[in-house]
Amino acid sequence: MAQHNELGKRGEDAAANYLQQLGYKIIERNWINRKYEIDIIACDKEYIIFVEVKTRSSNKWGNPEEAISDSKIRKIVAAADFYVKEKEIDLPVRFDVISVIWNNDKSTINHIDDAFLAPIN
């Protein structure tokens, strides 16, 4: 596995563990269906939460969450819409971002809940 893929997997593992420690239930990890992909799908008592995880080895070139483009947001929203309809989920949707910075063997996690709203077409 390429080094950046390993780093991404470590970041997603750290994010999932972090969410579980907060009491979130992890429903799916690395959910893929056709052209759609979501890193983590979780829920709490109020929401179904679609989580985008961004991992970097440092913030030398900016914080990881800054790498989420408008195009990526539109793809996440489309994937969430597809997932909610396919699974017939009747909960409000929330979009979170978790950025992870690995420094040696320690991670720093920044959880941005309700990070963005679904754009209006």
- Residue 117 placed within a domain: no
Q: How far is CA 114 from the centre of its chain?
A: 11
Neighbour-count burial of 98, counting CB atoms closer than 10 A to its CB (0-12 exposed, 13-18 middle, 19+ buried): buried
Domain range for residue 57? 3-68+88-112
pLDDT at 65: 84
- Residue 78 placed within a domain: no
pLDDT, tens digit (0-9, with 9 covering 90-100), for 59-96? 777 778 888 899 999 999 999 999 999 999 999 999 99
- Residue 30 placed within a domain: yes
- Residue 120 placed within a domain: no
62: domain CATH number is 3.40.1350.10
The total number of structural domains that make up the chain: 1
Tell whether pTM > 0.85.
Answer: yes
pLDDT score of 3 more than 80: no
